[in-house]
Structure 1
Amino acid sequence: MAFNGQQLQGHQMQQLMAAFADVRQQAKPQHLSNTLWAVATMGQQVPAAQLQQLLTAFVGVLQHAVPQEFSNTLWAVATMSQQMPAAQLQQLLDAFVGKLQQAKPQELSNTLWAVAAMGQQVHVHHLQQLLDAFWGMLQQVAPQAISNTLWAVATMGQQLSAQQLKQLLIAFVGMRHQAKPQHLSNMLWAVATMGQQVPAAQLQQLLTAFVGKLQQALPQDFSNTLWAVATMGQQMSSQQLQQLDDALAGTLQRASPQNVANTLWACAQLHFLPKRLLAAPGLAGLLQAGSAQGLANAAWACGQLGHRDEQLIGVVLTEVQQRLTAASSSSNTQDLCNTCWAVAVLDLQQHAAQVLQMAQACSSMWSSTTAEEKRQLWQVHTWLLDFQPAGAQGLQGSLTEQQLQQCRAAWDKALQQTARQSGSDFQLSVLAAVHRLPITWQQQPQMEQLSVGRDGVTTDGALLLDIAGRTASNVLVAVEADGPSHFRRPDGGLMGGTQYRNRALAVRGYRLVSVPWFEWAQLQGVKQQQQQQYLLRLFEQAGVLSPAAA
């Protein structure tokens, strides 16, 4: 039926399938399997009732079937996005496992892929038998078979041992140049989904291979690759990220909302601003057609990267609000808190009323809020108080007094944990240099200090400062040793959280002296006098010292 890539008309297919279903009891396993394979290969469907008749017939002749016929049958059902009753599936798998000695790697791989694609499970003892057989054939396998096997294990929520994964990765990396972008992408996605790691050297080999095939890649391949690297907490070079940004922006019309939202989330985790994707026409409309989580992830990514796209955030807020009022609202506290947080970090004061409404929605599902979400809401509350007139209440009224207290407690606990950590060599080095400056202090600069409020005296705990002091002239000084996490790629701009911190310090009357890690690194090993001159220049630029004093 699918000979030479040709197609049948719908009515021809119906006639053939009806005739074949009538004679199914006389059909051999190969005939049944090939028929289903052909229909699926042509991208067509077998009606559910006929499919069940053919599957029942196939199960009746299992003892005569060879592994390829099991594999093709399961592959066809999964490819047609149909289902097989669990009992039938178990019968097929029992019989298939009994004939493993005759199975080829692709047949094992396709079987696992099909079960996972149908959202079903292979019992652990069967899975181990299938995988053991697969390991024994690694010398014969193609990249797709390894990729599909690993994808299936991850999709079924199962695990591989570290040794098994190591073997698969070594084999796959050795044939990476023959792999298609989807195989490379699925491989990385599966490892990340299982909560495991690809060693850095192998990761770079796979990423280099993927970047070399970008023209053949689909938006989902870009998205899954970036998501995997970010989820594993690993890194990509700015050049690789730039190439992926350019390629994805060029294929945006084929992307799904989830592809785009996952890409933005991953780029934010990797501290990379995907300028071309963010500037692509139709981005906001595409996200609008997606899930509440996708919208919130896009807003969170903009906040994290300090990308103040008022149009995009406006679209997200409008859509989130409309969904909040819908009877079948799928919004949850994570989506709402991520969106509120993004508005606060980007200082979009015109959306304060919408933030209050979203916080009120969180209040009504409070039991599901996490500690991280409570910290986000406390930041939002602090942001509202910072720009609202005196006497304003922030999130009071949207959240109950008890809920606000819980937010404050979550925030304070996180600051206390940070304060208890010993300072980095970078921070200690900057502190020592600040102490050597010819400045008279009313309060000596110290590390890990809580911020004071607008009155300049009372601690408000809104921020934890790397180094803080007060000069004899009563000038509050915050010295921040800004490491790599404060800067985004490729433009070196400040991340959203750092922009938020800088605004919050200014509101509280602090003069901010920011010491970027890359500038301080250039001063290591030089005379103390040069470090002193550098810091004095920063103190002067911050308005702590007059030019004459410096």
Structure 2
Amino acid sequence: MEFASRSLGARSGVRVRPASLAARAGGVDALAGRPRRRAVPLAFASRERPTSAAGEGGVVAGVTTSSSTAPVGVPRKRTEADKAAILAEAESVLHAALQGTGPQELAEALSSATRRIRRVPKSKTREFCRGSEAVQGAWEACLNACQDMNVHSLDKLLQSLAYSKTIQCLPSKHDEILERVEDTLIAGDMLMNSAPSVATSLLGSFARLEHSMSMELQEQYCQYLSIKVGQFEVTDVVRALSHLNKLPRFSGLKKYTLALCSAHISKNAEGLTANQISECMVAFAFSSFQPALKDLKIMEEQFTESFFTVNLQQAAESSLKSTYDVRALMRLLKSYAKLRIQLPVFIVDGLSELLGTSEMAHELLKPKEAANLIWYFAKMNQYPGGALLDAACGCLVEFFGSDAHGQAGSNYVHVQHMPRISWGLAKLRHKPPQGMMLQLDAFAARHVKKMTDSEVTQLIYGHALLDEPMCERSLRTFCKFLRARCDHVDSRPEEALSLRNLSVLLWSLTVLRVWDHGMAEELDSFWECLGHQEGQLGYLNVRGKHALHVAATCGLRETGETLQRVPEQFRTGTFDGMEALAREDKPASEIQREISQVLDSLQVEYFDHRGRGAGLGGGEEGKMGGDELLSADFYLAGGAGGEGGVCMEVDGPSHFFLNTLEPTGKTLFRNRVHRSKGWEVVCLPHFEWEQLEDEESKKAYLVDMLGVTPPPAEREE
């Protein structure tokens, strides 16, 4: 199934969706396995298009036209005289209203003048409003009369005030006007007796004005919604939620009110656009409210129908960007990431089919959107598939290779996106294209002064998890930036590198083997900085301390004791909780139990990560491989202290990148730790073991992998 694009050619008018979504058109969702609320047709016949006066010929008002006839109804471009006349007319309306009219007439005149002013370019409007005595007089009159206005007049007043903010011409007393409007709305039951459409319009004006409503007015709006939500048109509910979400310092709706709104939207979801659904979900997410499952499913289905169903005729006449509402998609992803919930399978499959090629991703995704897509799915802890992430990475590679990164604006990636991309790919266990992370480093290093210490640390941490080397020049830039933060410990502690970031940094730099770049001194200086914060080390949990102990021990062994400033407790592992961590019982997986049985049948001497097994003594020393750093799943031959012995790790899915099946940076570092003690490391991938169908094949696999000799009975067979 191809997607709507200009290359699809013919003006067929057929409405199409991705094949994975088209399969859901029957009574049962083919992907999600659940009944559909209603069937969605796969294709609609195109309606006949009325012949235009500028088309291929026809009759308009009794006059025969040809294809060369000029279009009828095309507005003439306004001249300077036209613009001046419009502004003069608006000023005349305001002058007339200032001649002793009532408050309702004054609001109507201001609204009428605003409608006229909007027809003139903002540059001229701005100059006119600042210099017009009639405009300034009207605002002064409204300040004195707004307490006598009804709710409709207040709505018109706020709309005019919001437009004045748009053209950067707010009256000097706009704060006083807003305060009096609030007082008038709160007094009596004016707001409670207003129509839902008017209440929604008022909210929209407050949002556009970025006005922080008083707590009294906020409470009235919350009460109004909880009582009257059933009287709202569903589009007004959507708009109201969107406006409330944009109000500064809004305390939020109660969960009960949000549940009522969610139920009302789901009952009337048919006809809502993807943009409207995503606006609702963002409002819910930033109120930390997750709709009921049945409501959420209906909204997901409506989003799917609106977003993926495309009219090919319209698509052929417009760009793909205008055909698919990508902004709505990004808002939906953002809301799910905020709520820490996962998208339904059918939406993810649809996105993979839509954006899973570099051509479609290039057409539809801006670099900023590609970066956010990675970040949002990482926050959802949901792997959307290699094709979608590869396409997003392709957009970023193209961005890094262009001159666009020197520009600003919403279309472009900013330096704050770099750590999100790095950590996001690591969280999703997706190996990026070769060379992409070096380009990312170079971009971040050029703008490092705009980053926080947490962002720089997160960037380096992502590289360590991805097993992606860093450019030496960029790495030195980052270390210099963070080292300067360490110098603030005594003079400006609030600006110093936090203990958490320092711990993550030390682990990451060790994983990246920075001493291979001649940066052992930089690493040692960060250990020294940690030593200066020894009084705060109690805030680190025992697992954090253990990770630092592992990093310190591995670094000392691999550098030949070059690191001289590692705090003593991390050299020796002498801190509270270490023994409890060593004694912690770790449950064995099904594969580990199977391997134990096979090793027993082969009469191989071993002990496992819990100190159990045939031979080699076991016990406390055996339990940690004689090292108390990291315990392997199995130890075989050569004694419990390493020195020529073999340790075997059974690597489950979390140890591999999902798109390449290569081991992750964390897994490779674990193997380095074992080798630093003298163990020969053997890794058993879960996907290889799961392909072995019987016990004989499993025995043969282990004999070949470990190089052990089977017992005599086995050899005779």
Please give the range of the TM-score, normalised by the shorter of the 2 chains: 0.7 to 0.9
CA change 1:122–1:490 in 2 (3 A) is closer
Most deviating of 280-289 and 204-213: 204-213
| CA pair 364-116 structure 1, distance change in 2 beyond 3 A | farther
Q: Describe the shift of the 1:374–1:154 C-alpha distance in structure 2 as closer, same or farther (beyond 3 A).
A: farther
Tell me the alpha carbon deviations over residues 259-291 of structure 1, each in whole angstroms, 9 at most, x when there is no partner: 332222121011113336413351333455222
Task: State the alpha-carbon separation in 2 of the partners of residues 242 and 355 from structure 1.
Answer: 35
Instruction: State the distance in 1 between where 2:634 and 2:505 align.
Output: 31
Q: Give CA-to-partner distance per residue, 1:370-408, whole Å, 9 cap, x none.
A: 44433332322322332354697773258799x950373
Question: What residue in structure 2 maps to residue 7 of structure 1?
Answer: 122
**Cα-to-partner distance string for 1:522-541 (whole Å, 9 max, x where unaligned):** 4x13783x656655554469
Match of 2:578 among 404, 408, 416: 408
The letter of the residue matching 1:194 is L
Residues 210 and 31 (structure 1), Cα distance of their counterparts in 2 relative to 1, 3 Å cut: farther
- Give the alignment of 1:183-202 within 5 angstroms: 183-202=328-347
Cα offset for 1:162? 3.1
CA distance in 1, matches of 2:504, 2:289: 30
In the alignment, which residue of structure 2 is the partner of 1:274? 432
Q: SS where residue 257 of structure 1 aligns?
A: coil
Residue 339 (structure 1) shift: 1.5
| Residue 242 (structure 2) pairs with residue 113 (structure 1) | yes
Q: Report Cα offsets for 1:157-210 as digits up to 9, x if no partner.
A: 334333333332233233232662232232233233224343434443355456
What is the aligned residue count? Answer: 528
Taking structure 2 as the reference length, what is the TM-score of the superposition?
A: 0.64
Q: Distance in 2 between matches of 1:70 and 1:5?
A: 29
Which of 151, 156, 160 aligns to 1:35? It is 160
Deviations 1:8-64 (A, max 9, x none): 454445457745422323671342232244356x47474785145146336526558
Corresponding residue of 1:515:
684
Question: 1:294-313, aligned counterparts within 5 Å?
Answer: 294-311=455-472, 312-313=474-475
Q: CA deviation at 1:214?
A: 5.9
CA change 1:467–1:367 in 2 (3 A) is closer
What corresponds to 2:376 in structure 1? Answer: 228
Call closer, same or farther: CA 1:102–1:390 in 2, change over 3 Å: closer
The letter of the residue matching 2:650 is A
Give the Cα separation in 2 of the matches to 1:313 and 1:143: 43
Quick one: which of 212, 216, 233 aligns to 1:87?
A: 216
2:417 corresponds to which residue? 259
Answer with 280-289 or 264-273: which moved more.
280-289
AA paired with 1:517?
H
Conserved 8 A contact 1:299-1:342: yes
* Distance in 2 between residues matched to 1:68 and 1:15, nearest whole Å: 34
Name the % identity: 15
Amino acid at match of 2:122: Q
> In structure 2, how many angstroms separate the alpha carbons of the residues matched to 1:206 and 1:371?
42
Give the letter for the 1:319 counterpart.
Answer: F
How high is the TM-score relative to the length of structure 1?
A: 0.81
Q: Say yes or no: does 1:170 pair with 2:301.
A: yes
1:335/1:161 CA distance change after superposition, 3 Å: farther
Provide closer, same or farther for how the CA distance between residues 501 and 204 of structure 1 changes in structure 2, counting only shifts above 3 A: same
CA contact (8 A) 1:37 1:75 kept: no
Most deviating of 495-504 and 530-539: 530-539
The structure whose residues are more often helix, as a share, is: 1
Superposition deviation, residue 461 in structure 1: 1.5
Opposite residue 450 of structure 2, the aligned amino acid is A
Residue matched to 2:180: 56
Q: Distance in 2 between matches of 1:270 and 1:338?
A: 19
Cα distance change on mapping 1:159 and 1:19 into 2, 3 Å: farther
3-state SS in 2 of match to 1:198: coil
The answer on 1:334 being equivalent to 2:495 is no
Residue number in structure 2 paired with 1:480: 649
The structure that has the greater radius of gyration is 2
- Seen in structure 2, the aligned counterparts of structure 1 residues 321 and 407 have a Cα distance that, compared at 3 Å, is farther
- Amino acid paired to 1:193: K
TM-aligned CA distance change 1:110 to 1:518, over 3 Å:
same
Once superposed, what is the RMSD of the aligned Cα atoms? 4.0
Whole-angstrom CA distance in 1 between matches of 2:194 and 2:514: 65
Question: Residue 528 of structure 2 contacts residue 566 of structure 2 at CA under 8 Å; is this kept in 1?
Answer: no
What letter matches 1:167 in structure 2?
A: I
* C-alpha distance in 1 between matches for 2:307 and 2:650: 42
Cα 1:290–1:447 change in 2 (3 A) is same
Conserved? CA contact 2:374–2:421, under 8 Å: yes
Query: How far apart, in 1, do the equivalents of 2:437 and 2:279 lie?
Result: 32
Q: Secondary structure at the match of 1:84?
A: coil
When residues 46 and 361 of structure 1 are mapped into structure 2, their CA distance, relative to the original with a 3 A threshold, is: farther
Q: Which residue of the partner structure matches residue 182 of structure 1?
A: 327
Q: Residue type of the partner of 2:437?
A: L
Residues 139-169 of structure 1 deviation map (CA, whole Å, 9 limit, x = unaligned)? 2422222211221122123343333333322
Residue number in structure 2 paired with 1:525: 693
1:305 Cα deviation after fit: 1.2
Q: Which whole-Å CA distance do the structure 1 matches of 2:423 and 2:541 have between them?
A: 19
Residue equivalent to 2:61: none
Indicate how the Cα distance of structure 1 residues 499 and 91 shifts in structure 2: closer, same or farther if over 3 A, else same: same
Cα deviations by residue, 1:234-266 (Å, 9 ceiling, x for unpaired): 222111110111123444631233333222212
Between the aligned partners of 2:423 and 2:663, the Cα distance in structure 1 is 17
Change in 2 beyond 3 A, CA 1:92/1:336: same
Query: What is the identity, as a one-letter code, of the residue corresponding to 2:548?
Result: L
**Distance of aligned partners of 1:325 and 1:224 in 2 relative to their CA distance in 1, 3 Å threshold:** same
Q: Tell me what 2:10 maps to.
A: none
Q: Is the 8 A contact 1:288 1:315 kept in 2?
A: no
**Are 2:323 and 1:205 equivalent residues in the alignment?**
no
Aligned to 2:203: 74
Say which SS state the counterpart of residue 282 (structure 1) adopts.
helix
Q: Distance in 2 between matches of 1:154 and 1:8?
A: 38
